[in-house]
Structure 1
Amino acid sequence: MLAKRIIPCLDVRDGKVVKGINFVGIKEVGDPVECAEEYNAQGADEICFLDITATHEGRGTMVDVVRRTAQRVFVPLTVGGGISSVDDFRELLRSGADKVSVNSAAVRNPQLIHDAAEIFGSQCVVVAIDAKKKGDSWTVVVNGGRIDMNIDAIEWAKKAEELGAGEILLTSMDTDGMKTGFDIELLNAVCDVVKIPVIASGGCGTLEHFSEVFQKTKASAALAASLFHYKELTVSQVKEHLEENNIPVRRVD
C-alpha cells in the first residue's frame, strides 16, 4: 500500500488564514507563510492553500503568498481559489505551486481541465469538488456552498478524470467544520468510480477519524484545517496514530 498523505489546508482570505464552520462564520487564525512553515516542520506531506473569497468576490489568487511560501517550505504546495483560466494555472505554477486546484470554473467550463492537463500535465491539475447530499446521491455546490449546480457529484468526478484531472479533492459540505468524521459514504461512492487519487476533506475531528477514513475508504490522502490551525492535533501525532494502526505514512525525520 502506498503511504497515505496528511495535508493541512490553509483557507486564506485577504492574505490571512481563516477557518469557518460550513464556510460561514469565519475567524482569522494566522499568517499563511508561518502556518505553512509550522506544518512543514511537523511532517506534512503537502500543504493546500485555498483562497476562499477569490471566487465569491472575483479576486485573483494571492500569488505573493504562494511565492513567499514556496521559498520557505519544501513540500508540494497545492493552490486553489479563483482559478478560471490556463493563465491562472501558469502564474501559480511559476510562483512556486506544484499543483493547482480548480473548482467553480471547471464546473462552468470543463474544457479548462482538459486544456490545463494538456499544457502542464495531469499531475498539476486537482479538481476540487464540494458535494452536498441530495436525495440518494450528492450534488455539486460552488461558491462556498452557496450555489447548487444540480450536477451529480459522482458523475462529475468521473468526468473530471476523463478530462485529465490528476487528483480529486473531495469536500463534504455536510460534514465540513463539524468534526464528526469524514463522509465515508460519499468518499466510497467517488473512490469506486475513479482511478485517480482522492483526497478526503471535511469533517475530521479526532485521531480516529484519520485512521477510519483510510481503513474504510480508498482515499489516498486526508486533509484537515481547523484541527491543525487551533493546535488540537499536530501532523506528527496523526502520523504516529496511523502507524500504530498499521497504516503506512511517510516518516518524519
Structure 2
Amino acid sequence: MLRPRIIPCLLVRNKGLVKTVQFKDGKYIGDPINAVRIFNEKESDELMVLDIDATTKLSEPDYRMIENLATECRMPLCYGGGIRNLDQAQKIFSLGVEKIAISSAAVKNPAIIADIASKVGSQSVVVVVDVKKKLFGGYEMFTDNGKKSTGLNPIDFVRKMENEGAGEIVINSIDNDGVMKGYDLDLIEKIRNNISLPLTVLGGAGGLEHIGQVINKYGIIGAAAGSLFVFKGKYKAVLINYPNFKEKDELINQYFKIL
C-alpha cells in the first residue's frame, strides 16, 4: 500500500549544509555527509538534496559530492542542482541517485523533462516549482533561488510538466521557507486539484503537527521539510532529527484511520 512520505530536504552551498529563510541568508549548519549518516540511522523515508548554487552559477553538478552522498545514503535519494541536459542526468543516475530534481532548466526548456523521462522513466524525474504569492492575489513561479520572476502561473506550469512526462512535482513556498509556521495549504490545494502526479510539499513545516495536517488532508503525499529536521527548540540549535517510529506511525495512521 502506498503511504505518505516524510522527507528531509538538505540545501548545499559550497559543499556545506545550509538553511535559508525565504531563500535568503543561508546559515551554515554542518557537513551534508554527516547529516546523511544520521538520517540513515533514523531510517527516513527518502532524502532530497538540492545544490542551491549550481544553477545560479551555471556550474556542472558536483559529481564527486553526489557520488559520496549516494554511496553513504541508505534511503531513496533525490538530487537537484545544475542539471541542464540528458547527459548530466544520466551521469547522476549512474552514481546511484534514484531521482533527479529539475527546476530552472524545466522553465527554460520544458522538453528536457520528456527527454529525460523517455530514457530513465517518469518515476525518476521530479520538477521543483518555487512559488511566491503575488501582491494582489494568486501565485507566481520564480527561479534562480527566488531571484528571477518567470511570470508563469504555477498551475499552468505543473500541468505542462505532467504532459511532458514528469513523475513528481515538488511545490516549494518561498514565502514560507524557513519560517516554520506551517505549509501554504491554499497553494497545496490549488496544485493538488490540477494534477494527478505524486505531490511533495516543501516550505513552512515547524512541527510534526504541520506534517500531520497535510497528511490528514491529502493522504498520499510527500511532506518535506528543512528547518524542522536540522534545528531543535525555540533558539534553533543545530540538531539533526527525524520522527521516531512511534511518532511517524501516529502521523501516518491518522490518515489511514479516516479512509
Distance 1:79 1:244 in 2: 29
Output the CA distance in 2 between the equivalents of 1:201 and 1:23.
12
Deviations, residues 26-63 of structure 1 (Å, cap 9, x unaligned): 11111111111111211211111100011111122221
Deviation at 1:216, TM superposition (A): 2.3
Secondary structure of 1:182's partner? coil
1:14 alignment counterpart: 14
Partner of 1:128: 128
Would you say the 8 A contact 2:216–2:255 is kept in 1? Answer: no
Tell me the equivalent position of 2:183. 182
Matched residue of 2:82: which SS?
coil
Instruction: Confirm whether residue 229 of structure 1 aligns to residue 224 of structure 2.
Output: no
Separation of aligned partners in 2, 1:114 and 1:31 = 34
CA drift of 1:22 comes to: 1.0
* 1:1-253 matched pairs, under 5 angstroms: 2-134=2-134, 135-218=136-219, 220-231=221-232, 234-237=241-244, 240-245=246-251, 246-247=253-254
Offset, 1:66: 1.7
Distance 1:168 1:72 in 2: 25
Deviation at 1:133, TM superposition (A): 1.4
- Residue by residue over 1:115-150, the C-alpha shift from the partner in whole angstroms, topping out at 9 and shown as x without a partner, is 011111101100000011124421110011101100
Q: Within 2, Cα distance between the matches of 1:43 and 1:74?
A: 8
Letter in 2 for 1:123: Q
1:242 shift after superposition: 4.5
Q: TM-score, normalised by structure 2?
A: 0.91
Task: State TM-score, norm by structure 1.
Answer: 0.93
- What stretches of structure 2 of length at least 5 have no aligned partner? 234-239
How many residues of Structure 1 are paired with residues of Structure 2 in the alignment?
248
Worse-superposed segment, 101-110 or 30-39: 30-39
Structure 2 distance, partners of 1:221, 1:190, is 13
Query: Separation in 1 of the partners of 2:202 and 2:246?
Result: 20
* RMSD (Å) for aligned C-alpha atoms: 1.7
Cα distance in 1 between the residues matched to 2:46 and 2:250: 22
Q: Which amino acid aligns with 1:91?
A: K
Report sequence identity in percent: 35
Structure 1 unaligned spans of 5+: none
